[in-house]
Structure 1
Amino acid sequence: MRTRLLAVTPSSRSRHLEEAVRVLLGGGLVAFPTETVYGLGADATNPRAVGGIFAAKGRPGDNPLIVHVASLEEAQALGAFDDRARALAARFWPGPLTLVVEADPRIPEEVRAGLPTVAIRMPRHPLAQDLIRLAGVPVAAPSANRSGRPSPTDAASVREDLDGRIPLILDGGPAEVGVESTVVDVTGEKVVLLRPGGISSEDLERVCGPLGYPQGEDLLRRSPGTRHRHYAPGVPLWLWDGGDVPEEIRILEREGVPWGYVGVLPPPANPAWELRGGTFEEYAALLFRALRRLEQQGARGILAEWPRGKAGIARALRDRLSRASGGREPLVNEPERC
């Protein structure tokens, strides 16, 4: 399969969107930008097309997909929205919030991974909105990368993972947020935070009151990005919580092995490459692109700052970093105790 990358400009926008719609309605896959990361879209009403997502990504079949819609009315046709779900949608849609609700039985089992629930969001990116609206169907879309790799925040990263595996990529520039949507379950007595993301828990609680947190696998499996290893570069990723130079980095430097750094604080030693944001929001926006770039530049290991605190985007950063590192604990060199 030949993958075409279409750079969307004001003059080419209508033409490229029409082509993308033809691919979607013909049962094909289209990678497209959202404000969080790039998504790999298929017609959510077409089980065979949805199956193509799992094949292209190498994605486990028990990992549900998020369905993207262009309006609240469209969302309410796909699942049961109570007052809490409507209030959250009114406050945060369009935007990086996914709501897990009881699914309409007409939603294909492939989208739901056999669950009675469906995950729905309305993206904020204007290109995503136009694509869904013009297609006239809900669009099932996980991140547009090979399963387990860092999520793509630009079209080049999509091509790196999926070239030859999908027919079309819409290039709408870099993603703004850089980490995936926040996912909450609104089917129980309390709204439950399944995955932290672009909407903070503090902002959610101003609308729906105190959040619950999942206990065990049953709730977690309702959201993508919670149970399988995700976001991992092809080289070791260590997490640094401040303090002295971690021993792993000392070893690399003694052996003259190049390593890279990503974070906000200055690095604790002398990396061959460093990519830094001025705030945690900027850190989140560059994280996945930085992991890919450092790997491509030849880093044999990557040290990433572990954000202190859990407020705002820091919670989502900690979640992604933990999963990308395979669950490693942050590296902190403690002084020896006598």
Structure 2
Amino acid sequence: MKPLVLTVDRWNPDPSAIKQAACVLVDGGLVAFPTETVYGLGANALLGEAVAKIFAAKGRPADNPLIVHVASPEDVNKIAFVDERARRLMELFWPGPLTLVLVAKEDVPSITRAGLSTVAVRMPSHPVALALIEEARCPVAAPSANRSGRPSPTNAQAVMDDLNGAVDVVIDAGPTDVGVESTVVDATGPDLVLLRPGGLPVEKLIAVEDVVLPQGEEIKRRSPGTRHRHYAPSVPLVLWEKDDRTWGKFLSRNVAVGYVGIRKPPIAVAVEVRFESIDGYARGLFSALRYLEKRHVDIIVADWPEEKGLGLALRDRLHRASAMEEGDLPLP
């Protein structure tokens, strides 16, 4: 059955539409909604049966924990233990694209936590997301609203392309602002551990708190979106780094090449999507990947950005999307 699509103004969402979607969440249904990062597939985080529908709709591995979205920092106390450091990070960066991994309270179902003792929590800044969570009066578990492994959706049409028939309601408030998922940090130990770079540049975190990289697989398990292939289009994706050798393999071959990035490609390509800034690249990457695959290219080449600012998040997403050996490329 096709979902109910509710089109709302992002800055002034219709209260009746928000209430209608919130009632679906309260009753254990699935609602796709916009955040400032990507569109999320939401369910009542405290209803295990509802959360199970997320995993089924996405085809998501059961060992991949979910991010629980709240409407205020105070709401976190209902689902997790919050110390002074975590509280300070909330004051500095919430609402916004920062997810904190905290020690979970018993009320959080095991399926929401993927069986871990921790829970990932954030407060989004998108007005529609906040209005929905406030109206539902429950924490909302919400990974990206796409089939597992696919590019994340940054508009409602991408949600429909992947999940039409698997979600009850889609709230359409236009394209998202950031375009990549939230930054995830583990705040349960003595060190603040960066589990996933994202929409909050790491430099902003480092300016207020020491941040270390994860050591060992166990701590990496605490973050969503880090242990399985993600973000991949339906055609192979390769990375264009500092030199032009990547392009040599396409010369004199009957290959339709699609390109996404900031720099101008050194050869003629079949279709290209170029951005003027790193912010634009981050905002438009996933929609560009979906656009290029619909243009039936054989290969997508992606510009490999510098390792700073949002470039760090882009490198993470592109690396996961391009997880293949060169010998696997369908070159004639």
TM-score, normalization by structure 1: 0.93
Cα distance between partner residues in 2 of 1:60 and 1:72: 29
TM-superposed CA distance for 1:21, in Å, is 0.9
Aligned to 2:222: 222
Query: 1:116-141 CA deviation, whole Å, 9 max, x = no partner?
Result: 00000000000000000000000000
Q: Give the partner amino acid of 1:211.
A: V
Q: Report whether the alignment pairs 1:320 with 2:317.
A: yes
TM-superposed CA distance for 1:212, in Å, is 1.2
Q: Give the partner amino acid of 1:323.
A: R
Runs of 5+ consecutive residues of structure 2 not aligned to the other structure: 327-332
Cα distance between partner residues in 2 of 1:230 and 1:203: 25
Structure 2 vs 1, CA of residues 3 and 318 (structure 1 numbering), >3 Å: closer, same or farther? same
TM-superposed CA distance for 1:197, in Å, is 0.3
Show the 5 A alignment for 1:155-304.
155-208=156-209, 210-246=210-246, 249-304=247-302
Cα distance between partner residues in 2 of 1:236 and 1:254: 19
Show the 5 A alignment for 1:10-25.
13-25=14-26
Aligned to 1:44: 45
Runs of 5+ consecutive residues of structure 1 not aligned to the other structure: 330-338
TM-superposed CA distance for 1:245, in Å, is 4.8
**SS across alignment from 2:52:** helix
Q: Give the partner amino acid of 2:174.
A: G
TM-superposed CA distance for 1:253, in Å, is 4.8
Query: 1:210-250 CA deviation, whole Å, 9 max, x = no partner?
Result: 2111112101110011100000001010000132252xx44
TM-superposed CA distance for 1:252, in Å, is 4.1
TM-superposed CA distance for 1:105, in Å, is 1.2
Structure 2 vs 1, CA of residues 22 and 241 (structure 1 numbering), >3 Å: closer, same or farther? same
Query: 1:158-185 CA deviation, whole Å, 9 max, x = no partner?
Result: 0000001111110011010000000000
Q: Give the partner amino acid of 1:80.
A: F
Cα distance between partner residues in 2 of 1:11 and 1:63: 34
**SS across alignment from 1:17:** helix
Runs of 4+ more than 3 Å apart: 9-12, 249-253
Does the 8 Å contact 2:13/2:128 carry over to 1?
Answer: no
Aligned to 1:105: 106
Query: 1:249-280 CA deviation, whole Å, 9 max, x = no partner?
Result: 44545233221111111112111111111111
Cα distance between partner residues in 2 of 1:104 and 1:28: 23
Q: Report whether the alignment pairs 1:7 with 2:30.
A: no
Structural RMSD (CA): 1.5
Cα distance between partner residues in 1 of 2:70 and 2:273: 34
Aligned to 1:334: none
Cα distance between partner residues in 2 of 1:258 and 1:236: 12
Cα distance between partner residues in 1 of 2:235 and 2:188: 39
Does the 8 Å contact 1:242/1:305 carry over to 2?
Answer: no
Does the 8 Å contact 1:98/1:181 carry over to 2?
Answer: yes
Cα distance between partner residues in 1 of 2:274 and 2:77: 41
Cα distance between partner residues in 1 of 2:308 and 2:243: 21
TM-superposed CA distance for 1:5, in Å, is 1.8
Does the 8 Å contact 1:259/1:273 carry over to 2?
Answer: yes
Aligned to 2:329: none
Q: Give the partner amino acid of 1:86.
A: R
Identity of matched residues, %? 55
The number of residues matched between the two structures is 325
Cα distance between partner residues in 2 of 1:243 and 1:182: 29
Structure 2 vs 1, CA of residues 37 and 11 (structure 1 numbering), >3 Å: closer, same or farther? closer
Q: Report whether the alignment pairs 1:140 with 2:141.
A: yes
Aligned to 1:335: none
Cα distance between partner residues in 1 of 2:37 and 2:228: 20
**SS across alignment from 2:134:** helix
Cα distance between partner residues in 2 of 1:59 and 1:117: 19
Does the 8 Å contact 1:65/1:141 carry over to 2?
Answer: yes
Cα distance between partner residues in 2 of 1:275 and 1:328: 24
